[in-house]
Every structure is written in C-alpha cells, then in structure tokens.
A and B are shown apart, each in its own frame.
Chain A
C-alpha cells in the first residue's frame, strides 16, 4: 500500500505493508539517522518526532502515521549542530549511536517546557538510553543548550 507522510516538511509517498513499523519504512528509504536499538519499545534510540512529539518509531505503524509530520534529526539540522558542538565540548560523545534520538528529544523538550528544572530534564529523557556515558556530561551539554537563546 502507499502511505503519504510529511518527512522533515517534505511530502513523501512510501510503499509499505500494513504491518510495517515506521522505523523500518524510514530506514528502507535511507533515513539512516533513525537507528534500530532494542526494537522493543524500550531504549528510545529510534525516536522521531510525530507532529513535534517524540515517539519510538519502532512501535508506530507506518499506516497510523498517514498524513502526519515526521521529523528526523536531518529536519532540525541547525539545532542538532549546536547540540553536537556542546556535546563535544563537554565530552558527552562516545559512540554517537543515540545522539540523533537524544537531539530530537531535547529539541522537543526545549519547545515544550518553560524554564525546566534539572529534574524536569532528567524525567523528560528517561526514555532515551545511552549505553556509553553516565549522562553527567550530557546533562551539562543539555543545560547549556537550553540556556542558548540564539
């Protein structure tokens, strides 16, 4: 079947089966920044924004996204660059596998929460695992990013 999605503000038509998950559809169509981690609704590495809200793409059927906006990290390039530099400066990068998903979730957080506390930030990121770091350097980088008004 053919499904219409708006990916990073571009209207797209994808060929898929009714049981396909968005993660698979996106990866088959070369959106390779969307990563497969646990594939069981746990780790958050496959996070994309669905109408601006973070969701695990491994568990959203592509057919259910018909007509909706999907944002991958390529869709927030400028903000992702800023975050990347701040993550680098704090030594928060190791393997980088989770970075696109964390960047998207932090971007959604910045849009949604007004003056979040440190605890608000931690709670917002509970569903995004990073297997390398202890999160402390990431917290510092995220704090700098949230303070950035540019």
Chain B
C-alpha cells in the first residue's frame, strides 16, 4: 500500500480562490485527474481540487477548439471535433495512452502540466498551433511553456488549438501497449508548411525547426529532400539511449517514421 500524506484537501469554488490557495504556501499544489499523484509525490500540505471550476468542457469556437484543462484523455479521444482536426493526430496519440481506465482518470491539463518527457501528447500538440491559457499569466504557446521549466506557479485553464485545414501523422513506437514510447513522432502539413516533432527521445517533445525551415523552402519533396530533412532532424534534436532502446535504434526509428509521416501528409486523403 502506497501512502500519500495530504494535510488538507481543498475544494475552491472560484478560480481566484484556487489561485490564492496555490500561491499562499509553496507546499500546496493542484491535483488534476490524479493518475500520477501517488507515483510522483509523497506529501503535500494543501491539495487543491479543480473539480468544481467548470474546466471540463471541449468548446468549439470559430477559429479554434478549446479543451478545458480538466477534460479527461478519454473525452479528448472521443471528441468528433478533435478527430477531424489534422487527421485526428491528437486523438490517435491519446488513444494509445495506457488503458481506458487510466484515460478516464487522467486529464489533458495534468498531462500538459506534468512535463513528462515520455508523454505522447506533446508531439501532436506541437505540430498543431497550440496555446495554453493560464489564470494569471494568460496565453503562452506550448513551445514557450516547454522551453521554460521554471515558470511561476499558475493554474492551467485550457488548451487552445487553432482550427486549420491540415494533415497530420503520429506514431508511437512501444514494446507493449502499456509501455512508454521508445520514441514518438508527429508530422503535420498546412498551407504554411510542414511541422516535424520528436518526443520521448527520451527528452521532452520538441520541434525540429532547422529541418522544418529546410523542407518548407522546397517546392518538390523527393528522396533527396527527405534524406536531408531527416539528417537535420537528427542533427538538431537530442536523442539518447535509455532502458528502452539504444541511441542508434531510436535514430533509425526517427528516420523511417519522419519520412513516412511526410509522405502521409502529402498523400491524397483517400
């Protein structure tokens, strides 16, 4: 039996109240779904619940889809609107996370705020135009959030994905369905160009910006361009060995799936 010591369980009724509780003591923290809590912390003074703050809705706006931070991964997976966005790149990634029971508990907000390097949700979110909306700090792009691990305490309200006509590709390579990814790969294409992202390398998801600039400068995508793109991806993103696979094996997987991803997003839909 694993014990978690929680001094107080706090149920704020307003965001302001929740935020005040969060900053009032550095030993206070927010709980989202709680799927990781017993594996990541041992004790907490005030555990702040966001259950009563109406953050569990997916809202479709004219130019974006807004996912409340307390929406479960299972709800993300089942959303028709998200299924239609970029060939359902986010839905397909979420579908492969653990089992349905965990996805009924874990939330998208908890997954984003966890900054888990093995996460399968950063690559699909990064290849779309994704912003995070915080209570105090307002809008922050997901890439800026990931680049700044020392951000001050805040409450994530929603994840906003711009609605764009785009294609998408996601691949998680894992030994078993319940295991973390050896590596994960996402690629997208809109009128503005390609985006390419690797995650779980074992470092946290990141866009391959040099490779994106290169491929987006090309009018024709041929084998030579694909080879050079992959070379740039491997050159700029950090890949290391871990318990799951060697560096060489991960690089080989990245090469194959980045190419497959690009081919998929430029192929005919049918």
Chain B residues, CB < 8 A from A18: 6-9, 47
Closest to B78 in A: A112
Q: How far is the CA of A105 from the CA of B101 in the complex (A)?
A: 8
Chain B contacts for A53, CB-based, 8 A: 74, 104
Residues 80-125 of B at the A interface (beta carbon under 8 Å): 95, 98-102, 104-105
- CB–CB B105/A21 < 8 A: no
Binds A, one of B34-42, B204-212, B256-264: B34-42
Q: Compute how far the CA of A1 lies from the CA of B74 in the bound complex, rounded to whole angstroms.
A: 31
Q: How far is the CA of A129 from the CA of B98 in the complex (A)?
A: 11
On chain A, the residues within 8 Å of B190 by CB distance are none
Q: Is A79 an interface residue (CB 8 A)?
A: no
Of A17, A21, A124, the contact of B38 (CB 8 Å cutoff): A21
Contacts of A24 in B (CB 8 A): 1
Task: Tell whether, in the assembled complex, residue B101 and residue A127 are in contact, meaning their CB atoms are under 8 Å apart.
Answer: yes
Tell me whether A125 and B105 are in contact in the complex, defined as CB-CB below 8 angstroms, given that A36-B1, A59-B35, A63-B9 are known contacts: no
Instruction: Please count how many residues in chain A sit with their CB below 8 Å of the partner chain's CB atoms.
Output: 32
Asked if A133 lies at the interface with its beta carbon under 8 angstroms from chain B, I say no
CB distance from A103 to the nearest CB of B (A): 13
What is the CB-to-nearest-CB distance from A99 to chain B, in angstroms, rounded to a whole number?
16
Q: How far is the CA of A126 from the CA of B178 in the complex (A)?
A: 7
A6 within 8 A of B: no
Could you say which of B2, B35, B95, B105 has the most chain A C-beta atoms within 10 Å of its C-beta? B105
| Chain B proximity of A130: nearest CB distance (Å) | 13
Q: How many residues of B sit at the interface, in one of the four size bands?
A: 20 to 34
What is the predominant secondary structure among interface residues of chain B facing chain A? mixed
How distant is A48 from chain B, measured CB to nearest CB, in Å? 9
Question: Complex: how many Å from CA A26 to CA B104?
Answer: 19
Are B104 and A54 within 8 A (Cβ)? yes
What sequence of 0s and 1s flags, for each residue 33-47 of chain A, a beta carbon within 8 Å of any chain B beta carbon? Answer: 000100111101001
Contact A40 B101 (CB under 8 A): no
CB atoms of B38 and A40 under 8 A apart:
yes
B175 contacts A by Cβ under 8 Å: no
Give complex CA distance A84, B171 in Å.
38
Whether A60 contacts B100 by the Cβ 8 Å rule is no
Q: Which of B98-157 contact A (CB under 8 A)?
A: 98-102, 104-105
Question: In the complex, which of the residues A39, A64, A123 contacts B49, with contact meaning CB atoms closer than 8 Å?
Answer: A64
* 8 Å CB contact of A41 from B1, B35, B95: B35
Could you pull out 18 A-B pairs where Cβ atoms are within 8 angstroms?
A1-B9, A19-B5, A19-B6, A41-B98, A41-B102, A42-B178, A47-B101, A50-B105, A56-B105, A58-B38, A59-B38, A60-B34, A60-B105, A61-B6, A61-B31, A61-B34, A64-B51, A127-B178
